[in-house]
Structure 1
């Protein structure tokens, strides 16, 4: 009899496990990865929806700490040190919380990201950054809570938060310039290749740095490339020359880039070179 009961219990347990029904989560998990300059940022959060509910000032009360989503902590991970507001934040993983108000939110980055939502006991020493972000009304409603990275540059991004008819953004700055300059200095003190000279020159052009140095580097890159020089390299040489005030050199480089682009059948570079030649009086 005992053996029979044990057998029946085993069968019941097996059926119970095998009969588990999978249903969709009301606040599905989302993971977003974004490269900002040379920094990798990963965002993990759950996304509740309005479902005919009033959100801010009701479901999410004003003046009270909110987990910024649903379920477990909303987490953000930085591969390098970053700056948020006036705060230097070390590389690592952090929870994000917010206290919404009608005209602004207080957004907090918290060093303990292991809580199931809000911490049971708040610890001010774990606050690594706190910023006040302005609330911007949106002309349309966002049904599902959404976080994204916008206004991307090589040195910063804005972490945007959208729900109901509200947008809030927090700027995150990354140390791209310091990292690139360190890399350039290290490589230039070693044995740089033509690609190194080209990359350094283009970076100096794009970031508004010493244009004479950029001119020296792009010339070295073009010389090393020789008869294998590409139309996009010549295009950057023309732009650097123009920025340096050498209009005749810019025109000569643009004409070479134009001819190479036409040969390669690249309509985009053909147009860009033609536009620049018209601007510089080369046509």
Structure 2
């Protein structure tokens, strides 16, 4: 091949490649990508998914056919990552990342937590049910409002559980998660109090027990230790009053609440002044009844 022709050929090929590359246009996606993160107890759930819109179409049973795998969104498969072991309706979900798939029907859905996260979309013929970690069955419900873009959200969040809600058009399904926060917290409290506890250590341990409505005697011991090491603070006395009231010692609870109110007023914490005042009135009534 003549040298001049070779140079011309290379030039034409290069220009063609350049023009093809330059012709690629970045455009907005019809189903925009979204990420939702939610803490629950000491753990975190992260979901990456895309949000298709209804756009006047019939969704379930039509756009999303019944009885066929759905990627729970659009574009690539929906991914869910959990930072520590959880349970879903009694099934153990180890720490890690999973593809989330659904098999909708008119009256029930199957939700699959799938270990193969490499498939694009629903995987189609490459999807292998044996790679499901497990499946659960959930009941879809009709909601009294219209959700235009597919939405994954979390609600009913406690230290130990939450609900993941999949909502689109007028349909919603709920997936319940539970975490082992109590076991983790008991270990954490023991570790921190054994190693090098501070006033804040004792306070946070007591506050957790008070919020969980458990071990009030132990919580009171921790609060007394917090006050011994850290001195008077409105929030130490505030939680102490709540614990004493749970133990039925309304006289001590009122005394602690008055101290908390006094200290909160000095720091301009009006909300704590109001909360303490309300509790003092409530416990004064209960004290008279006893």
**How high is the TM-score relative to the length of structure 2?**
0.92
Distance between the aligned counterparts of 1:218 and 1:269, measured in 2? 18
Shift of 1:52: 1.7
Residue of structure 1 in register with 2:248 after alignment = 245
Distance between the aligned counterparts of 2:17 and 2:39, measured in 1? 47
Distance between the aligned counterparts of 1:72 and 1:24, measured in 2? 16
Pick aligned residue for 1:279 from 273, 278, 282: 282
82-91 vs 229-238, greater mean Cα deviation: 229-238
Residue of structure 2 in register with 1:133 after alignment = 138
Runs (4+) of structure 1 exceeding 6 A deviation are none
Residue of structure 1 in register with 2:36 after alignment = 32
Q: How does 1:53-132 map to 2 (within 5 A)?
A: 53-119=57-123, 120-132=125-137
Distance between the aligned counterparts of 1:55 and 1:190, measured in 2? 57
Residue of structure 2 in register with 1:233 after alignment = 236
Residue of structure 2 in register with 1:184 after alignment = 189
Are 2:206 and 1:204 aligned?
Answer: no
1:10-64, CA deviations, whole angstroms, 9 ceiling, x for partnerless residues? 2343243234321111111111111111101110111111122111111111122
Secondary structure class of the residue paired with 1:189:
helix
Do 1:85 and 1:129's aligned partners in 2 also have CA atoms closer than 8 Å? no
Shift of 1:272: 0.2
**How high is the TM-score relative to the length of structure 1?**
0.94
Aligned residues: 281
1:116-153, CA deviations, whole angstroms, 9 ceiling, x for partnerless residues? 12233443432223221121111221111111111111
Secondary structure class of the residue paired with 1:281:
helix
CA RMSD, Structure 1 to Structure 2 (Å)? 1.7
Any gaps of 5 or more consecutive residues in structure 2?
none
Pick aligned residue for 1:144 from 149, 164, 171: 149
